[in-house]
Amino acid sequence: MSAQLVPLHEPLKQLLGRNLCAVVAYGSMTRLEDAAPVSELNLAILVRERLPPELRGRIADLLGPNVSTLVIDIETFRQMARAGEYLAHEA
């Protein structure tokens, strides 16, 4: 895991505990040739069980305004992969 992402992973681990499966960075910030100072960091947060809206809000507050999150449970992610959804194959 990149040392730069560890500060984001640890608070998520504390908040979600064993429900947290993975944190995947994607988008322009993950590609040096595409990254721009105004880009936000995109994170896919994979969880074992679907999160209630208030917990999703706490995640957004925790990570701040420069981080865009997609919180998805494993079963939905698997369904997306079986259906050929682009994100599921890129993450």
Average pLDDT over residues 6-33: 84
Q: What is the DSSP string of 16-79?
A: HGGGEEEEEEESGGGSTTT--TTPPEEEEEEESSPPPHHHHHHHHHHH-TTEEEEEEEHHHHHH
pLDDT digits (tens, 9 = 90+) for 73-84: 999 999 988 998
Task: Say which amino acid occupies 44.
Answer: A
pTM of the model: 0.79
Q: Rounded CA gap, 52 and 11, in Å?
A: 18
Average pLDDT over residues 66-76: 92
Q: Which residues contact 53 (CB under 8 A, 6 or more apart)?
A: none
